[in-house]
Structure 1
Amino acid sequence: MNSQSWQVKATLLLVSSLTIMSMITISASLPDMTRSFSDIPNSEGLVKLSLSFPGLFIALSAIVAGIIIDRTGRLKLLGIALVLYALGGTSGYWLNNLYGILAGRALLGISVGISMTIVTTLVADYYQGKSRQQFAGLQIAVMSLAGILFITLGGFLADIGWRVPFLLYFFSLLILPAAYLHLKEPKRERETSDSVRGIRSPRIIWLIFANVMLMWIIFFIIPVQIPFYLKEIGVEKNAMIGVAIAASTLFSAVSSFSYSRIRDILGFRQIFALGYFLMALAFVSIAFGNSYGMVLLGMLLAGLGMGLMIPNANLWVMHLAPQEIRGKEIGRLTTFWFLGQFLSPLVLLPFLNFLTLSRLFHILAMVLFGLTIIFVIWYWLAPKPYVPEESK
């Protein structure tokens, strides 16, 4: 198999696009979905939870999937995951029970946990050095562009009916033939269980995992709360809400496309500092902007920051993880990524009992400025110990 062929790259990128699609496609539907289930106790909280609910099951399934694919190979589970994706994802169109929809979202999460772990591990298997660095940025950029497409479609389809965007999840079935045709199992040395048991990643990898979880706890307030925030300031069209969230995704793609060039200049910790600084500016713009334009500016800045930090985390873990346990470590990365998304509303929504949304964004901006300072200090105080991980 030629990993540099456009067919292989396109297939990896299409499978990757399912990840972001799984979470934000129905974002513009949330207000109307809340009204539809208004007779159910705590319907608003449950509907908001439906957006992040797959994250819990991605987190639970990814770490198991990582262990399995290290033992049995990368591709055996992928076809099953793509079928489950379509079944779970479209459940919101067919089901009239909110709890049934949540169960479907759980199934969607399991499928994403498997597919994302497999595809990210394959990127690390197929590509090395500069090629891996470039593909890591391209992967997140294409995921972002796919997010633009699906969330924009979701916004327009939500104006037809809040259920209609759920049909977009059938997209996974279109990818299934390409996955079987173009992706091949990478060659690996056969290891004994005893030899693998003794292999460990550097301890710094756990700091990356924790940082990724915190990053997503803070960022995921945007797709969960921005639709409601825009409604508060007078934006009624679901299409405009979809465009605002898609704008963040567009600028995430811009910075991800530039990631490899930025990585040639800056180290991993410096890129995290830059990403958090852009995110802090974004949240300030949202907090103090009582207009669609200011919120849109905040969305653009947030996209720039996340577009740098996501491939940065992926590539750092790829550098640190030994090949023998690469699937397990990337599974852990996926687990912490989506655990952050799941925890985001659980951690942040209680603050809205005594804070306005704008005040919450203001406080989170201060937290993001603090994280920026921490990564700058970390870089200046200890620039040398991690040279192998930050080598160009």
Structure 2
Amino acid sequence: MTATTVADVRRPPKSLLVTLLGVSTMTIMASATITPALPGMERHFAGEPHAQLLVRLVLTLPGLLIMLSAPLLARLSGRTGRVPVLVACLALYTVGGGSGLVLDSLPGLLVGRALLGVGIAGIMTTSTALLADHHPAGEHGRVLGLQGAAMGFGGVVAMLLGGVLATEGWRGPFAVYLLAVPMLVLVLRFVPEVAVQPAQGVSEGTPWQRRSLGLYALMFLGVVAFYTVPTQAPFWLAEVGGAGPVVTGALIAAVNLAMTLVGLNYRRLRTRWDFPALATAMFAALAVGLFLVGSAGTLWTAGLGMVVVGVGVGLQNPTINGWLVASVSPGARTKALGLLTSALFLGQFSSPLIAQPLIDTVGLGTTFVLAGTLAAVVTGALIITRLPRRR
């Protein structure tokens, strides 16, 4: 199949868009899928040394590998092409994720999770770049919004499917990773490579320009604030209203549902507001939602806060991804998106490390309020930076 240049791209077949959206759901399913299996896994390996720590590393290790490998894979895709890297990483995703179905040692599972992390890093960077490559600039708001919606929907499916499969044993949720196999086949069938050349009128910025560094910082700060919800909300909801796993899971799924609805309507938002305004709205939603969660006296108030947080999260990926794609040349997209992926997972890794000392000092509720304060400070900074432009 003959590659086309980015400048020549028109709206591609729906099969290509659906394939890349399906690939994007693989990334959000990666960690949430096995969460319900952790208690059973801990019981199964109870006799092994340091089992409690190693079982938790099974959940968190992919994030560390994503953070480290995303820039390297982005650089590799610039040399070999995006599609070969995407195909190879889908294969790593399948092997590493599905290894939990057959391996029976914690060190072996950790090796598999490391491979999974490398696979996710490549999938995240190349799938977003390919969506931008195959669609003209005027379509980026629509397709990146759909990508955000697909990821939110994938999160809901992962929570529900992982819980159902975990009832059959701790290995059950690992079967979800085999969904990457049909995705790999569809990529080979429907996703051609694009010859990435600078298009006329496209910014020639690099991944290291000042605006790009600012976007990496926005992604990091947004994830640090938001990630207090999935890591700390189960404990806070139990404290506020005695919520059990079912209620907690439903409220966290509501966050993903709100994210999905925002993604489906993102094109309309993008036609009315520019990226700085959308980023301001994103952090404002995070601030209001986290304030509501932290000050909640009932589950209803906490649940409302989590839905508002979901609105902010729904704005985050399409806004910052789209802003970055618009700020760099086509040839620099994967490098820039690789660094953005690292910033995202650095935020995930850092959030509980920052939150835990605060929880020990001031308590869970105040920690959520402080996370909201961080989001409010960023909101204020974004408003201030826009004032000279308005004048």
Q: Give, in whole Å, the separation in 1 of the partners of 2:232 and 2:38.
A: 10
Pairwise mapping of residues 24-43 of structure 1 onto structure 2 (< 5 A)?
Answer: 24-30=32-38
Amino acid across the alignment from 1:126:
H
Q: Give, in whole Å, the separation in 2 of the partners of 1:30 and 1:359.
A: 28
Q: CA deviation at 1:58?
A: 1.1
Q: Give, in whole Å, the separation in 1 of the partners of 2:293 and 2:99.
A: 33
Q: Give, in whole Å, the separation in 1 of the partners of 2:178 and 2:248.
A: 23
Question: Is 1:244 aligned to 2:251, yes or no?
Answer: yes
Unaligned runs of 5+ in 2: 2-9, 199-203
Q: Give, in whole Å, the separation in 2 of the partners of 1:348 and 1:39.
A: 31
Report the identity percentage: 33
Q: Deviations over 1:147-171 (max 9, x none)?
A: 1111122233345544422221111
Q: Give, in whole Å, the separation in 2 of the partners of 1:103 and 1:225.
A: 27
Aligned residue among 217, 220, 223 for 1:216: 223
Q: CA deviation at 1:263?
A: 1.6
2:360 matched residue in structure 1: 353
Taking a change above 3 Å as real, the CA distance of residues 35 and 298 of structure 1, as seen in their structure-2 partners, is: farther
Q: Give, in whole Å, the separation in 2 of the partners of 1:277 and 1:37.
A: 44
Q: CA deviation at 1:344?
A: 2.1
Question: Is 1:226 aligned to 2:233, yes or no?
Answer: yes
| 1:247/1:300 contact within 8 Å kept | yes
Q: Give, in whole Å, the separation in 1 of the partners of 2:113 and 2:107.
A: 10
Q: Give, in whole Å, the separation in 1 of the partners of 2:35 and 2:90.
A: 22
Pairwise mapping of residues 290-329 of structure 1 onto structure 2 (< 5 A)?
Answer: 290-329=297-336
Q: CA deviation at 1:34?
A: 5.8
Q: Give, in whole Å, the separation in 1 of the partners of 2:44 and 2:356.
A: 21
Unaligned runs of 5+ in 1: 191-197, 385-392
Q: Give, in whole Å, the separation in 1 of the partners of 2:390 and 2:102.
A: 54
Q: Deviations over 1:334-367 (max 9, x none)?
A: 2212221222223323333334222211221222
* TM-score (structure 2 length as normaliser): 0.87
Aligned residue among 262, 269, 293 for 2:269: 262
Corresponding residue pairs, total: 376
Q: CA deviation at 1:260?
A: 1.8
Of residues 329-338 and 157-166 in structure 1, the stretch that sits farther from structure 2 once superposed is 157-166
2:206 matched residue in structure 1: 200
Question: Is 1:66 aligned to 2:74, yes or no?
Answer: yes
1:127 matched residue in structure 2: 135
Pairwise mapping of residues 121-200 of structure 1 onto structure 2 (< 5 A)?
Answer: 121-189=129-197, 200=206
Aligned residue among 337, 340, 350 for 1:330: 337
Q: CA deviation at 1:32?
A: 5.8
Q: Give, in whole Å, the separation in 2 of the partners of 1:285 and 1:199.
A: 39
Q: Give, in whole Å, the separation in 2 of the partners of 1:291 and 1:51.
A: 30
Q: Give, in whole Å, the separation in 2 of the partners of 1:333 and 1:279.
A: 19
Q: Secondary structure at the match of 2:83?
A: coil
Taking a change above 3 Å as real, the CA distance of residues 46 and 235 of structure 1, as seen in their structure-2 partners, is: farther
Taking a change above 3 Å as real, the CA distance of residues 94 and 224 of structure 1, as seen in their structure-2 partners, is: farther
1:378 matched residue in structure 2: 385
* TM-score (structure 1 length as normaliser): 0.86
Of residues 313-322 and 338-347 in structure 1, the stretch that sits farther from structure 2 once superposed is 338-347
Taking a change above 3 Å as real, the CA distance of residues 294 and 155 of structure 1, as seen in their structure-2 partners, is: farther
Of residues 210-219 and 339-348 in structure 1, the stretch that sits farther from structure 2 once superposed is 339-348
